């Protein structure tokens, strides 16, 4: 049975999988899209040298991981040829890992995951949760790296049609646990799994906020939870309610940092963001806040 404990009671973080940094706070994963069509920064880092410089800059700003992706997963995005994804992502992974930066690979394809891990990636971040490529589970199991399992119902070009829920929190949690069962049956070590509720993936804004407000329910499944809210449409929609229209994606970093702080305080082990510095400061404040709350009051 899913534990629906009060969100005011935050349990300790589930154990992070081996191979990930342990800074004593919520991890900050910097987004590095080496794509021409990502919703926020598509085309800015399509050149490998520019992408590597940006990845190094995020590491200098405090990113615990740099997440390299060669295929956009924005709503409506079309798939790219496997060779193109490999050519975009793997050289950047290799260069950053060679410079000592902890790197994750954002991919739905087992061949890309394998090549990226060979090039030095220490985590596979799969927005399809293993559904897009049946070979992914065995590939990640053989690689022995942590694996982010995201809630996913359909490819980007058609996912909006699947944004229908009676109980979004219960259904997303149940569907993620179904994926965990299938992945572990295929040989994946459950101790290497991180869950991601998949904000924006076959979700409307109200669904995203419900999931964030009930992270304790997903955490009660016993797996670490990653939150990827950065600059997404539901943040813009919320901002439009208190300003003159929704700000452009690149103007949503302060609001993203607020979500990062709230997610960290609710027990997320990692936030995935475009602007590292603001979310790093936010999760540090969350750590100070929750840490102080766990101490005995002064005499």
Task: Give 69's strand partners.
Answer: 33, 106
Contacts by 249-252, CB closer than 8 A, 24 or more apart: 249/39, 249/40, 250/40, 250/41
Are 194 and 147 in contact, with CB atoms under 8 Å apart? Answer: yes
Give 13's Cβ-side CA count (13 Å radius): 24
Q: Is 53 a catalytic residue?
A: no
Q: How many CB atoms lie within 10 A of CB 53?
A: 13
Catalytic, out of 219, 231, 232, 252? 232
Catalytic, out of 25, 219, 231, 272? 272
Q: Which of 214, 151, 201, 139 is nearest to 180 (CA)?
A: 151
Dist CA 39 CA 75 (whole Å)? 8
Q: Is 232 a catalytic residue?
A: yes
Provide CB contacts within 8 A for 179, sequence distance 6+.
129, 130, 131, 149
Helix, strand or coil, per DSSP, at residue 270: strand
Strands 103-106 and 65-69: parallel
Dist CA 116 CA 90 (whole Å)? 5
Dist CA 7 CA 230 (whole Å)? 22
Tokens of 215: 């992270």
Enzyme catalytic residues = 232, 272
């Amino acid at each position: 049975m899913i534990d629906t404990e009060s969100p005011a009671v935050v349990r300790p973080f589930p154990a992070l999988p081996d191979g990930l940094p342990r800074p004593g706070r919520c991890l900050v994963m910097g987004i590095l899209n080496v794509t021409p069509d990502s919703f926020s920064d598509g085309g800015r880092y399509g050149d490998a040298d520019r992408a590597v410089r940006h990845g190094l800059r995020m590491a200098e700003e405090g990113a615990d991981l740099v997440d390299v992706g060669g295929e956009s997963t924005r709503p409506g995005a079309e798939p790219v040829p496997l060779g193109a994804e490999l050519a975009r992502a793997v050289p950047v992974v290799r260069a950053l890992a060679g410079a000592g930066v902890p790197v994750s690979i954002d991919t739905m394809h087992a061949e890309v995951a394998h090549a990226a891990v060979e090039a030095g990636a220490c985590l596979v971040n799969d927005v399809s949760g293993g559904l897009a490529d049946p070979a992914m589970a065995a590939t990640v199991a053989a690689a022995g790296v942590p694996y982010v399992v995201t809630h996913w119902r359909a490819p980007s070009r058609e996912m909006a049609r699947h944004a229908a829920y009676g109980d979004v929190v219960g259904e997303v949690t149940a569907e993620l646990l179904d994926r965990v069962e299938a992945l572990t049956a295929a040989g994946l070590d459950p101790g290497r799994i991180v869950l991601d509720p998949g904000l924006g993936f076959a979700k409307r804004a109200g669904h995203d906020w419900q999931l964030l407000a009930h992270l304790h329910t997903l955490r009660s499944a016993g797996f670490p939870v990653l939150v990827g809210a950065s600059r997404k449409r539901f943040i813009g929609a919320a901002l439009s309610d208190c300003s003159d229209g929704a700000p452009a994606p690149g103007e949503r970093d302060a609001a993203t940092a607020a979500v990062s702080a709230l997610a960290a305080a609710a027990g997320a082990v990692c936030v995935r963001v475009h602007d590292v510095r603001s979310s790093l400061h936010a999760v540090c404040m969350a750590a100070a806040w929750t840490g102080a709350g766990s101490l005995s009051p002064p005499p």
